[in-house]
Structure 1
């Protein structure tokens, strides 16, 4: 039963690789070019998962407890995580699937992310993690806070998402140059044709929904999650304790790697690409910040930004907000400020000349 995690992860890795479902790039583009397509796509995936999961809960097929809201850890950790994903060149899931494409920089970021996550969860930084979690509110569920059913919130989310998606689709299309068609039929659709972000989001939402019953069937009462399973891999390698650390989530993240690898090979996009020294240092630093932030926040852009948002929790939506703010902050210092300084230097040199 635990191997269903491998299947679910492989599906997710395949879809994210082929659909280029990169939340880091999406959040960054919101700031740099006012392009909200990927954010709207994320809302689609959240809405689909939310409708499906709460329908299953209402039918008594799933269980979910929102727990408490560790507000300080969520805010600080999510902001740090947002900075980290810009430096690493991808979020937690994005790093896994890009590693499957052969990017050595993503392997560096992935190792640093796993290492810091393990240190935060079972190493010398556990006291810091625990200290932040002391600042918590008793209710994490947004509907429970207001004493309401979850369905008005789901309907509101679905309505807003539908409005934003339709409005975007009605905008005039900018022609995108494409490579000459070399395949036909299903092979062309799967491995050659450019996937629309919204179509990819529908598939991601359905896979996120599928993860809940598959995971709960093994006793893991949760949906998609990346940070803890990533840490578990390193913890298992060090301790050899398979009973404690090898679970459905571990197979999920390994499946993402395998699914992405298959998609990249089949679409002829796989190749080993080594980063320069500066990029390697940035990838490692970003991975460290990702591991620290995600552990502090109780989840990454998938665990909090996709799953806990769908479960209508404060943790999910507050985390998503601060991940985006962290991404924007890092994007300013990494992309905008160097350009401004370069223009000033160029202007000064021209004036001197």
Structure 2
């Protein structure tokens, strides 16, 4: 049954690579380019997953417990994670699928992410991780806290998502000269045609629904998750403990495989080596990602996609501080340097009497 993790991950990696489903770029563009399309796409994926998973819960096919809400760890970890994904050039899932494209900078970021996650979950920083995660509230369920049905929250999310998506689709489209297709039929659609972010989001949401029953069939009572499985790979390579090789490990390996297949078939795969500065930045970003995601109890997928769909405080508060972290890093990495360059250029201009 573990092989279903590999297949589910391969499907996710394929879809994310072809649809360029990058939450790092989406969060960054909200601040720099005032472009919210990828954020709206995330809302679509969350809404699709939420409706599907809670329908399965309603008929008794799944089990889910929201658990406690580690508020301090969630806020601090998510903010640090947001900074890290800007430096790394991709979130946890994005780093896995971009590594599958041959981007060596993502390999470096992925290494830092996996190592730091392992250090946080089972290494020297485990006491710090556990201690901060112990500080929280008893209830993680938003519906439970408010004393309402979860379907009210899901309906509200669906209505808001439909409204923003329709408004976005009605905007005038920028006409881009279309290149003459080199393929036809299904091959053109899968490997050449540009996928709309909203279509990609629906597919991601459906895969996220599929992950729940497949994962629970192996005894892993959860859906999509990236951080713990990534840490488990490092732990296995060091200790040889086969008990930590579960459905989630096969999932993340599948993401890499699916992305590689998509990149090769679409002729987008090639090895690209970063310069020394980018390599160091990628490593630092990966380390921050591992630290932040472990502390927050999830990354942009575990918290930003899955725990939000399950209508938990951890998911939605994590998403807010993740975005704030990306905006903070974007200011120092992208905005401030450009402002300084503009000021220096203006100062260098000769003045006329």
TM range (shorter): over 0.9
Deviations 1:207-237 (A, max 9, x none): 0000000000000000000000000000000
Structure 1 match to 2:114: 114
Matches within 5 A, 1:156-235: 156-235=156-235
What is the rounded CA distance, in whole Å, between the counterparts of 2:3 and 2:326 in structure 1? 34
Q: Which residue of the partner structure matches residue 8 of structure 2? A: 8
Separation of aligned partners in 1, 2:320 and 2:167: 22
> What is the CA–CA distance in structure 1 between the aligned matches of 2:14 and 2:233, rounded to whole Å?
21
Give 3-state SS (helix, strand or coil) of 2:194's partner: coil
Aligned-partner Cα distance in 1 for 2:351–2:303: 52
Report 1:57-68 matches (<5 A): 57-68=57-68
TM-score of the superposed pair, with normalisation by structure 1: 0.99
> Within 2, Cα distance between the matches of 1:226 and 1:322?
19
Measured in 1, the distance between the counterparts of 2:307 and 2:343 equals 44
The residue number in structure 1 matching 2:276 is 277
Specify the alignment match of 1:23 in structure 2: 23
Question: How far did 1:269 drift?
Answer: 0.1
Distance 1:344 1:152 in 2: 51
CA apart distance, 1:179: 3.0
Q: Deviations over 1:313-336 (max 9, x none)?
A: 000000000000000000000000
Where does residue 317 of structure 1 map in the other structure?
A: 316
The equivalent residue for 1:349 is 348
Give structure 1 stretches of 5+ with no counterpart: none
Shift of 1:176: 2.3
- Deviation track 1:180-232 (CA, whole Å, cap 9, x = no partner) reads 21000000000000000000000000000000000000000000000000000
Indicate the residue corresponding to 1:340 in structure 2: 339
Structure 2 distance, partners of 1:40, 1:115, is 32
Q: Which moved more, 1:64-73 or 1:168-177?
A: 168-177
Residue-by-residue CA offset, 1:49-80 (whole Å, 9 max, x unaligned): 00000000010000000000000000000000
Task: Provide the TM-score with structure 2 as the length reference.
Answer: 0.99
Size of the aligned set, in residue pairs, is 352
Question: C-alpha distance in 1, partners of 2:93/2:36?
Answer: 20
Q: Give the distance between the partners of 1:281 and 1:316, measured in 2 at CA.
A: 30
1:92 aligns with 2:56: no
Q: Out of 297-306 and 125-134, give the one that drifted further.
A: 125-134
Question: What secondary structure, in the 3-state scheme, does the structure 2 residue paired with 1:300 have?
Answer: coil
The runs of at least 4 aligned residues of structure 1 exceeding 6 Å deviation read none
Aligned-residue offset at 1:8: 0.3
Cα offsets for 1:249-279 (capped at 9, x unmatched): 0000000000000000000000000000011
